[in-house]
Amino acid sequence: MPEPFVVEIWGKPAGVVLKEGNAFRFHAFTRPFFELDGHQFNTPGQARLAAAKLQPPGENARAE
């Protein structure tokens, strides 16, 4: 079984990516990343980029 890939944005956990077949499914931990929960990506890096777009630098304090 492949290891999960933890996605961190600006030093805070956003979610985890699990390999499912030929894709990687994102499972969100907190807001604003719930928007990506369940989405599939071709690579873990694509999932991280999508999560980073939801929380630009300087906005990490407001997410909590």
Q: How confident is the model at residue 63 (pLDDT cuts 50, 70, 90)?
A: very low
Number of domains in the chain: 1
**Cis link prior to 44 (omega < 30° from 0)?**
no
pTM, 2 dp: 0.82
Q: What are the pLDDT digits (tens) for 26-55?
A: 999 999 999 999 999 999 999 999 999 998
**Of 29, 26, 17, nearest in space to 63 by CA:** 29
Does residue 59 sit within a domain?
Answer: no
Rounded-to-integer distance, Cα 44 and Cα 27, Å: 12
What is the reported pLDDT for 16?
Answer: 97
Domain that holds residue 32: 5-54
Does residue 47 sit within a domain?
Answer: yes
